[in-house]
């Protein structure tokens, strides 16, 4: 064959041995971004944000548990859950829990327990507190920290409980912290001890809670 025929034959041979081109499969991109659930599209992943942790906190927790293993601190025997009259009606028990927490601020557990014993000896209810004059109430709770201010707060809070809650205490943190002399930690502890509800980090502070937190409910 002539040169032209040979070139055509060579071209046909190259064509027959050429690899078949296949369409490339589209790769699915995975997107990670911040946004609300309604803003996230299909296939999106939540953005992983590093979480800060205190240094050596796990070992410190182990050490604290070892130190508290014997439960020999005053709070283990004189804490809030030991200060109310377990034989009293439920709402009276809850009121006594709240009062013990109000007294405990800036006060040693032994002193708080002593004040609660003196108050309970006179019959500790909303009505009995409102019928007690300020001077007598001050003598009963002395020497708790800031006892003069606490006399005022206890009287004001007791009046609110009588007028708006039928002598019981509120069942929410928001309502508890609205009472005079009641802070967030007291409110969370009251929710746990009086109502048996874990509402926040107040229950994770010093060991105010031992035993069944629902005991006063």
The catalytic residues are 185
Looking at 71-146, list the stretches that DSSP marks H as alpha helix, in order from N- to C-terminal side.
Answer: 75-78, 90-104, 109-121, 126-130, 134-141
Residue 33 burial (C-beta neighbours within 10 Å; 0-12, 13-18, 19+): exposed
Query: Which two three-digit tokens encode residue 110?
Result: 């032994």
| Contact indicator for 99, 190 with CB cutoff of 8 Å | no
69 DSSP assignment: T
| Contact indicator for 169, 73 with CB cutoff of 8 Å | no
Q: Centre a 10 Å sphere on the Cβ of residue 164 and count the other Cβ atoms it contains.
A: 11
Helix, coil or strand: residue 154: helix
Query: Which two three-digit tokens encode residue 30?
Result: 């995975």
Q: What is the DSSP string of 26-60?
A: PPPPPEEE---TTT--TTEEE---PPP--TTHHHH
Query: Which two three-digit tokens encode residue 80?
Result: 């809030």
């Amino acid at each position: 064959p002539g040169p032209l025929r040979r070139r055509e034959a060579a071209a046909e041979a190259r064509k027959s041995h050429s690899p078949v081109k296949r369409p490339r499969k589209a790769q699915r991109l995975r997107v990670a971004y911040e946004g609300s659930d309604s803003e996230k599209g299909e296939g999106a992943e939540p953005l992983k944000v590093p979480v800060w942790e205190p240094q050596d906190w796990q070992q410190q927790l182990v050490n604290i548990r070892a130190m508290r293993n014997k439960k020999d601190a005053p709070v283990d025997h004189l804490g809030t859950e030991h200060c109310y009259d377990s034989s009293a009606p439920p709402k009276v028990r809850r009121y006594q829990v709240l009062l013990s927490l109000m007294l405990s601020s800036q006060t040693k557990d032994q002193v708080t327990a002593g004040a609660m014993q003196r108050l309970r000896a006179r019959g500790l209810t909303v009505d009995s507190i409102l019928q007690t004059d300020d001077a007598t109430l001050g003598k009963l709770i002395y020497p708790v920290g800031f006892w003069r201010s606490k006399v005022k707060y206890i009287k004001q809070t007791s009046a609110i409980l009588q007028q708006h809650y039928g002598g019981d205490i509120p069942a929410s943190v928001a309502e508890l912290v609205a009472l005079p002399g009641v802070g967030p930690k007291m409110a969370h502890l009251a929710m746990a001890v009086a109502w048996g509800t874990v509402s926040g980090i107040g229950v994770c502070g010093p060991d105010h809670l031992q035993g069944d937190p629902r005991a006063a409910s």
